[in-house]
């Protein structure tokens, strides 16, 4: 099964200082990719911020940084995904995450879209109210995503929002990964050919050092 994970482009007020526009490693997607790879899934990561770090589109006073929407759509199409996961670390990034979900449905309305990150965690119902979003993951997503991929019944997936018979259902988050060392480190990601994450790692030693403690 092919999984495509997407870090959407960022939009911000055009007058922000340079420090605010540096793309940051999508650490959540890196962890997800590592566990999915470990379990034998075919994983692609589209990091629209890093892949399009020199691309900017000004719309009014809103500056969008990263790959263009058409560029993202082409890349998703190229992955031929069975499922697309989109990260939304900040609520302010939800419009762009939703835009990615819309692109997926334009490619093929049958491709399921799952959103993870802070926005689907705290506003699960509101996120799922959008027809383009099929699933929402609450909190840490490694086991939840694996459960979804492995075909576990939606009703018993912990920390998971889904739709059934036109109704939104939310299973609260009750289980957490106890042995964090069981997760592969970002260094393991480096050894895989997930190029956007790899280039982040190479370019952002500082960030890696902050999160991982070593590079």
Please report, as ranges, the residues that interact with ligand B12 according to CB under 6 A: 20, 24, 27-28, 31-32, 85-87, 89-91, 114, 116-118, 122, 137, 140-142, 145
Least distance in angstroms from the C-beta of 185 to ligand B12: 12
- What CA–CA distance (Å, rounded) separates 82 from 206? 34
Which residues, in sequence order, are CB contacts of 46 under 8 Å at separation 6+? 4, 5, 6, 7, 67, 72, 75, 76, 79, 196
Q: Which is nearer to ligand B12, 20 or 205 (CB)?
A: 20
Least distance in angstroms from the C-beta of 27 to ligand B12: 4
Q: Are 3 and 47 in contact (CB under 8 A)?
A: no
Residue 45 β-bridge partners = 5
Q: Which is nearer to ligand B12, 67 or 100 (CB)?
A: 100
Q: Which is nearer to ligand B12, 69 or 81 (CB)?
A: 81
Least distance in angstroms from the C-beta of 108 to ligand B12: 18
3 state DSSP class of 30: helix
- What CA–CA distance (Å, rounded) separates 72 from 69? 5
DSSP secondary structure code for residue 151 in this structure: T
Q: Are 77 and 84 in contact (CB under 8 A)?
A: no
Closest CA to 142 of 7, 37, 44: 37
Least distance in angstroms from the C-beta of 167 to ligand B12: 21
Least distance in angstroms from the C-beta of 137 to ligand B12: 4
Closest CA to 34 of 174, 185, 156, 195: 185
Q: Which is nearer to ligand B12, 20 or 108 (CB)?
A: 20
Q: Which is nearer to ligand B12, 81 or 117 (CB)?
A: 117
Q: Which is nearer to ligand B12, 50 or 137 (CB)?
A: 137
Least distance in angstroms from the C-beta of 21 to ligand B12: 8
């Amino acid at each position: 099964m092919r999984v495509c994970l997407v870090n959407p482009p960022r939009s911000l007020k055009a007058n922000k200082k340079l420090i605010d526009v540096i793309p940051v490693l999508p650490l959540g997607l890196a962890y997800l990719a590592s566990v999915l790879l470990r379990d034998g899934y075919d994983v692609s990561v589209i990091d629209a911020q890093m892949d399009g770090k020199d691309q900017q589109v000004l719309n009014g006073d809103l500056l969008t940084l990263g790959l263009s929407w058409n560029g993202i759509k082409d890349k998703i199409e190229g992955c031929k995904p069975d499922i697309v996961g989109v990260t939304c670390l900040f609520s302010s990034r939800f419009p762009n995450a939703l835009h990615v979900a819309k692109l997926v449905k334009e490619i093929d309305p049958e491709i399921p879209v799952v959103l993870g990150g802070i926005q689907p965690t705290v506003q699960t119902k509101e996120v799922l109210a959008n027809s383009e979003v099929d699933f929402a993951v609450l909190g840490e997503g490694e086991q939840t995503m694996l459960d979804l991929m492995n075909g576990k019944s939606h009703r018993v997936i912990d920390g998971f929002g889904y739709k059934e018979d036109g109704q939104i259902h939310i299973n609260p988050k009750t289980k957490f990964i106890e042995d964090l060392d069981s997760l592969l480190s970002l260094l393991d990601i480096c050894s895989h050919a997930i190029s956007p994450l790899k280039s982040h790692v190479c370019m952002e030693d500082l960030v890696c050092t902050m999160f991982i403690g070593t590079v």
